[in-house]
Amino acid sequence: DQQVKQNSPSLSVQEGRISILNCDYTNSMFDYFLWYKKYPAEGPTFLISISSIKDKNEDGRFTVFLNKSAKHLSLHIVPSQPGDSAVYFCAASEGGTSYGKLTFGQGTILTVHP
């Protein structure tokens, strides 16, 4: 049962353009969402998060949008840079007694071409 889904295995974008990565979830108990970036042979690195009480959170070139009614979130990267090329994971947490346990999507490979 895949509670967090990233339906696009890969995305290719030109440098300077916008990258949009999408994520859908099915568990209505999720109330905190995160994006992680992962390079080969390294562990995931936290990028940005959003609480279910918000619909947008921005940090520099990264913006996360949350649509609770659609159970959908997206990560926008503007402008995209070649160094952004990595695997991006969407993750969710139930809060409360979840003790911070994260449920991850399958990941999207982003390639930014110079």
Partner 1 sequence: NAGVMQNPRHLVRRRGQEARLRCSPMKGHSHVYWYRQLPEEGLKFMVYLQKENIIDESGMPKERFSAEFPKEGPSILRIQQVVRGDSAAYFCASSPYIGSTDTQYFGPGTRLTVL
Answer for the pair 112, 19: CB distance below 8 angstroms, yes or no. yes
Of 17 and 56, which has the nearer Cβ to partner 1? 56
Q: Which of residues 83-112 bind partner 1 (CB under 8 A)?
A: 89, 91, 93, 95, 98-107
Q: Which of residues 18-77 bind partner 1 (CB under 8 A)?
A: 32, 34, 36, 41-46, 49
Residue with tokens 């159970």: 71
79 HSE (CA, 13 A, CB side):
8
Which secondary structure element, helix H or strand E, spans residue 11, and what is its range? strand 10-14
Instruction: Report the interface residues with partner 1, using CB under 8 A.
Output: 4, 6, 32, 34, 36, 41-46, 49, 89, 91, 93, 95, 98-107
